[in-house]
Chain A
Amino acid sequence: MTLSIMQSILIIAICAGCTFLERAFPFLVFRGNELPDVIKYLGKALPMAIMATLVVYCLKDTTFTAPSAFAPQLMAAAITALLHIWRRNTMLSIFGGTIVYMLLVQAVF
């Protein structure tokens, strides 16, 4: 430890506080009784858009410089999606896709 215990605790407290404030932000802004119409609409429309963003976020380090930098994740993502469209079994799709990805990064690429 380079820092003192007090300094370290302060860093944790600041990071915890900032993170909580961000998560609480919409609840603090819209404290009134009735939510604005547009916020109700965004609350319903956003999840699908954010899930698409999070999928991109997980794949963001993909580059096309070498097959090993794009093939495992794109193939496993496609297999996860196809499995899910085919059987619509959440556990099968997630664990199937993950096992395929582990095999690809450990044994193939």
Chain B
Amino acid sequence: MKKTLRYAIKHSSPIFISFIPVALAYGVLMQNAGYNFIWTGACSLFVLAGSLQYLMMTFFAGGVSLITVAVMALLLNSRHIFYGLSFIEKFRSFGPWKYFLIYSLTDENYSLHCSHDFPEGINEKWAYILTAALTVAYWVILSILGALIGTVIPFDTTGIDFALTALFIVILIEQIKTADNRLPAWIGGISSIVCILIFGAANFILPALVITVALLSILRSRIEPKTEREGMK
């Protein structure tokens, strides 16, 4: 268990780094909006979605109907509906912990779950759970700290959030290196860039993922290794 915890701490460390500026600033902004650290902690724990929590501050300013709140929340995080597809059977095998892993299926945890590489002696189920629990703890604790003590950090952290971008790049390269077929990376990347050009940077991700799923389905016979396809029948 100790070994599994150590693994989870190391595996989730880039997320901790990337959360520092975003979570601290969130706490500060909430404080300025008249919502103290209890509210900040509650939002971070229950909503657990950075961009939505920032958007919620405009809801707290008033004048937005609850229907609009629901629609905006659903639209902003729509990419999340695709994340579970890769973990349906895995999470099911984890018993009641499945609900915790679904609740915590953020961009960050999705990418960490996609890039597990277990050394000898690691309990797989607890590696998933502890990794997710740590990222939730980082997010909640750092945002509460931001509300309580402000963004006081002894050095200039501008740009430290690049750690998340770097993590995604590293995971993508690992997947490309170990995959039999690199077509999915091209499909995801190119449809994203094309959708940015068509729909703009703010609205590209849902159409990009819909197109990606469509292309992956159409090109299945070219992407899936033959043996696997026969084995699944």
Contacts and interface: CB of A to CB of B under 8 A. Distances in A.
Given A8-B39, A41-B220, A77 B169 contact: yes
Interface string A4-25: 0000101111111011111111
B99 to A, nearest CB: 8
A64 B157 CA distance: 25
Contacts of B173: 81, 84-85
Interface stretch (B86-94, B119-127, B138-146): B86-94
Interface of A, helix, strand, loop or mixed by DSSP: helix
A91 interface: yes
Given A54-B168, A94-B167, A106-B156, A27 B84 contact: yes
A47 B176 CA distance: 11
Contacts of A105: 158-159
B78 to A, nearest CB: 7
A15 B201 contact: no
B192 A56 contact: yes
A61 B204 CA distance: 12
Interface in B45-66: 46-49, 52-53, 56, 59-62, 66
Contacts of B92: 27
B102 interface: yes
B148 interface: no
Nearest to A18: B73
A56 to B, nearest CB: 4
Contacts of B164: 58
A44 to B, nearest CB: 7
Contact of A48 (B34, B43, B160, B184): B184
Contacts of B52: 15, 19
B171 A51 contact: yes
Given A19-B77, A49-B212, A90 B170 contact: yes
29 contacts: A1-B35, A2-B34, A2-B60, A14-B70, A19-B47, A20-B103, A23-B81, A25-B80, A35-B88, A38-B217, A38-B220, A41-B224, A41-B229, A45-B184, A49-B188, A50-B110, A52-B185, A53-B188, A53-B189, A54-B111, A58-B165, A60-B196, A81-B169, A84-B170, A94-B167, A98-B163, A98-B166, A102-B157, A105-B158
Interface of A: 1-3, 8, 10-16, 18-27, 30, 35, 37-61, 72-73, 76-77, 80-81, 84-85, 90-91, 93-95, 97-98, 101-102, 104-106
